[in-house]
């Protein structure tokens, strides 16, 4: 071994012994700005923790090398705020709203019972809804029910369904509901547009509706005149159209989340849930009145015709116009006005209602 190699070997051994014998913290204490437990380098160290996390929670942009501006934000507090609103007030008060709606329907039924045709069925029917109107109605109704069920599972299933079926089963159910919700959503948009075009003509508000409100509407015991659709039905139509527009626009924002910003998608989700809960709550009342709550109402949407007595009791202004048109077209004699003794009375000449003209 050459003298130079011997000298290098000796220096290496001495350096190794020195490194092993001297404590590491003694070496580090000589570094400028060193503090125990703090990262090395020219930083504020532990004294900047509060300010550092304050900037993080405020969404302070950092630096990233990938072409994704959202990746430069370490923590998005807006996401926590969105989750707190969705899983807090919207789920809590929305759930109570649906419960109150169901209890209100039950209370109305116990107080009023099923609304019967006071004069009984006449045995004569008049056309109420065309085939096109019925097809649009049932199309929107079926799609809305599918969306409502799947949406309620996604919103409330974690609290109601998951404790019953378990996490694994609920995961499959929720995923199926999500896929179905995304599938039927665009179909609902088409239905809302078609419903507006078909039904808007008979749902304009006027003075007849104001009189219906003053008389108490469906809560009134006596007869209240109305057109083809009363004020309550017209309000439900405009709620369905307006709510459907909100659901459609917010739904599209969530279907294509790369178009709006993240904050806009979060707000769209909150508005979507709020509008959906409101529509479902009102729809429960509409479904009740149109099926179990009122005798003769459902036939208009199944067969397209309704009994004349039902039409005169609930939509007399429209019924008279329809019967006048029928009288002109086929020469049929219209049923006479009810006698002073009540509905179902005889005609002025003593003949029973519906008797052929002499």
CA dihedral for 321, 323, 324, 326, sign (positive or negative): positive
Q: Is the model's pLDDT at 221 over the cut of 80?
A: no
- The confidence band for 355, taking pLDDT boundaries of 50, 70 and 90, is very low
pLDDT at 343: 45
Neighbours of 279 (CB within 10 A): 22
Residue 49 CA to residue 85 CA, distance in Å, equals: 28
Give the pLDDT mean for 179-186: 94
Q: Long-range contacts made by residues 69-76, C-beta under 8 angstroms, separation at least 24? A: 70/262, 76/262
Contact 296, 124 (CB under 8 A): no
Reported as a single tens digit per residue, the pLDDT across 96-142 is: 999 999 999 999 999 888 889 888 898 899 999 999 999 999 999 99
Strands, E, within the chain: which ranges? 125-127, 305-307
Rounded to two decimals, the pTM is 0.73
pLDDT at 59: 67
User: Which of 43-47, 85-89, 204-208, 258-262 comes out lowest in average pLDDT?
Assistant: 43-47
191 membership: H or E segment, kind and range: helix 167-199
Residue 114 CA to residue 108 CA, distance in Å, equals: 9
Q: What distances in angstroms separate CA 149 from CA 103, 140, 168, 342, one per listed residue?
A: 19, 14, 20, 45
- For the chain, domain boundaries: 6-72, 77-302
Q: Is the model's pLDDT at 186 over the cut of 60?
A: yes
- The confidence band for 46, taking pLDDT boundaries of 50, 70 and 90, is low
- Paired residues of 306 in beta bridges: 126
pLDDT at 148: 96
pLDDT at 41: 52
Tell me yes or no: is domain 77-302 CATH 3.90.420.10: no
User: Which of 30-39, 68-77, 210-219, 248-257 comes out lowest in average pLDDT?
Assistant: 30-39
DSSP characters over 242-267: HHHHHHHHHHHHHHSTTSS-HHHHHH
Residue 105 CA to residue 285 CA, distance in Å, equals: 7
Angle, alpha carbons 315-240-308 (nearest 5°): 15
Mean pLDDT computed over every residue of the chain? 81
Q: Which of 228, 86, 69 is nearest to 156 (CA)?
A: 86
Reported as a single tens digit per residue, the pLDDT across 292-332 is: 999 999 999 999 999 999 999 889 999 999 998 877 555 45
Neighbours of 115 (CB within 10 A): 17
């Amino acid at each position: 071994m050459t003298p130079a190699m011997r000298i290098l070997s000796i220096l290496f051994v001495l350096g190794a012994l020195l490194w092993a014998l001297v404590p590491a913290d003694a070496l580090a204490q000589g570094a400028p700005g060193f503090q125990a437990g703090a990262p090395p380098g020219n930083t504020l160290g532990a004294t900047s923790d509060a300010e550092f996390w304050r900037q993080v929670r405020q969404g302070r942009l950092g630096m990233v090398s990938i072409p994704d501006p959202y990746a430069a934000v370490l923590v998005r507090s807006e996401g926590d705020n969105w989750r707190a609103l969705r899983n807090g007030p919207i789920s809590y008060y929305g759930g109570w709203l649906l419960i109150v709606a169901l209890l209100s329907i039950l209370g109305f039924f116990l107080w009023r019972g099923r609304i019967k045709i006071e004069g009984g069925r006449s045995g004569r029917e008049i056309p109420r809804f065309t085939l096109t109107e019925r097809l649009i109605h049932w199309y929107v109704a079926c799609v809305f029910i599918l969306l409502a069920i799947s949406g309620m599972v996604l919103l409330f299933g974690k609290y109601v369904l998951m404790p019953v079926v378990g996490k694994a089963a609920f995961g499959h159910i929720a995923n199926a509901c999500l896929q179905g919700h995304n599938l039927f959503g665009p179909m609902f948009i088409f239905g809302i547009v078609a419903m507006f075009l078909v039904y808007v003509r008979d749902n304009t508000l006027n003075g007849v509706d104001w009189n219906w409100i003053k008389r108490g509407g469906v809560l009134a015991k006596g007869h209240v005149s109305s057109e083809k659709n009363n004020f309550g039905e017209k309000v439900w139509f405009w709620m369905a159209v307006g709510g459907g527009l909100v659901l459609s626009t917010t739904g599209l924002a969530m279907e294509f989340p790369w178009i709006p910003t993240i904050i806009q998608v979060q707000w769209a989700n909150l508005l979507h849930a709020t509008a959906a809960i409101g529509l479902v709550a009102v729809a429960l009342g509409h479904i009740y009145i149109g099926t179990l709550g009122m005798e003769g109402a459902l036939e208009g949407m199944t067969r397209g015709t309704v009994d004349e007595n039902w039409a005169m009791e609930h939509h007399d202004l429209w019924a008279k116009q329809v019967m006048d048109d029928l009288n002109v077209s086929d020469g049929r004699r219209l049923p006479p006005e009810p006698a002073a003794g009540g509905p179902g009375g005889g005609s002025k000449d003593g003949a029973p209602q519906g008797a052929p003209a002499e």
